[in-house]
Every structure is written in structure tokens, then in C-alpha cells.
């Protein structure tokens, strides 16, 4: 009966990457740091108690999630934040919240007993 499994879309995979990337405090710290301005890998690695290679891998994860762009600049490598991926995540969260709130609203309407003439009762959305 259930060979369903809602079909992973491309945007699903992107959300996977974005949220998973942010699900690590080292990477969030890197993002925070980059929010204050671009930096090289060494600069980014400096405050952390781990090897440069480890930080480099974290940056790779962020890059694959579309959160960070790395560009070559001489022998150094320049890292910059990319806002698009953040928007993807924020949009997802926002739309869930909207959905959730509208459900709560329609429930409140139902409980209170008046007819919610705007938009019907949305319970089948």
C-alpha cells in the first residue's frame, strides 16, 4: 500500500543540505564570522581548536549547501556568504509557520463557533 515516500525533489535535497549544514555549531560559527565580512580559510580557522583541514571540510559542506562561495585570490582563498540559501531555509520555515498558524486559526474559529466567512475552514488544505 505505501510505496509512496513523497518523492524527493531537487529543492528537498537543497533543504537537506542547508539545514544539515547549519546543524553544526562550528559551521554556524563560521557563518556568523562570515556575516561580519569575507575572510580567508586561515582567518576563519584561527579561533577554532581544530586543524585547517577540518575547517576546510566544513567550508566545503557550507559551499555545497550554497551558503558560502569560495573564490581563489592568489594563493589565499576568499570566502563569502551567499544569501540565497538562507532565504531558502527562511522561506521553508516561514511557510510552515503560516500553514501552522492558519490551522490554529481555523481550529480557534471552529471552537469558538462562529463561521469564519473568509477562506472557509481550511481543514483540507
Partner DNA sequence: GGTTTAGTTAACCAGAAGGTATAGCATGGT
Partner DNA sequence: ACCATGCTATACCTTCTGGTTAACTAAACC
Q: Binding residues for DNA, per CB under 7 A? A: 20, 23-24, 26, 40-43, 49-54, 56-61, 70, 72, 74-77
Binding mask 10-39 for a second copy (x = CB under 8 A): --xx-xxxxxxxxxxx--xx-xx--xxx--
Is residue 116 close enough to count as binding a second copy by CB under 8 A?
no
Query: How many chain residues touch a second copy (CB under 8 A)?
Result: 48
Query: 27 exposed, middle or buried (CB, 10 Å; 0-12, 13-18, 19+)?
Result: buried
Residue 79 to residue 63: CA distance in whole angstroms: 9
Least separation in angstroms between residue 123's CB and DNA is 20
Task: Find the helix or strand (DSSP H, E) in which 71 lies.
Answer: strand 68-73
The residue among 75 and 114 lying less far from DNA, judged by its C-beta, is 75
**How near is the Cβ of 69 to a second copy at its closest, in Å?**
13
Assigned C-alpha cell, 69: 562561495
Nearer to DNA (CB atom), residue 63 or residue 105: 63
Per DSSP, the residues of 90-122 read HHHHHHHHHHHHHHHHHHHHHHHT----SSTT-
- Asked whether 37 and 73 are in contact (CB, 8 A), the reply is no
Burial of 116 (0-12, 13-18, 19+ CB in 10 A): middle
Kindly list the residues in this chain that would bind a second copy in the complex (CB under 8 A).
2-6, 8, 12-13, 15-25, 28-29, 31-32, 35-37, 46-50, 81, 83, 86, 89-90, 92-94, 96-97, 99-100, 103, 107, 123-125
Amino acid at each position: 500500500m505505501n510505496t509512496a515516500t513523497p518523492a524527493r525533489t531537487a529543492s528537498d535535497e537543497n533543504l537537506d543540505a542547508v539545514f544539515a549544514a547549519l546543524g553544526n555549531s562550528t559551521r554556524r560559527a563560521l557563518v556568523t564570522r562570515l556575516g561580519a565580512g569575507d575572510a580567508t580559510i586561515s582567518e576563519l580557522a584561527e579561533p577554532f581548536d581544530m586543524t585547517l583541514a577540518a575547517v576546510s571540510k566544513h567550508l566545503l559542506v557550507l559551499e555545497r549547501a550554497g551558503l558560502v562561495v569560495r573564490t581563489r585570490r592568489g594563493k589565499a582563498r576568499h570566502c563569502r556568504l551567499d544569501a540565497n540559501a538562507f532565504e531558502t531555509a527562511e522561506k521553508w520555515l516561514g511557510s510552515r509557520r503560516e500553514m501552522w498558524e492558519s490551522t490554529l486559526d481555523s481550529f480557534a474559529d471552529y471552537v469558538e463557533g462562529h463561521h469564519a466567512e473568509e477562506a472557509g475552514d481550511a481543514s483540507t488544505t
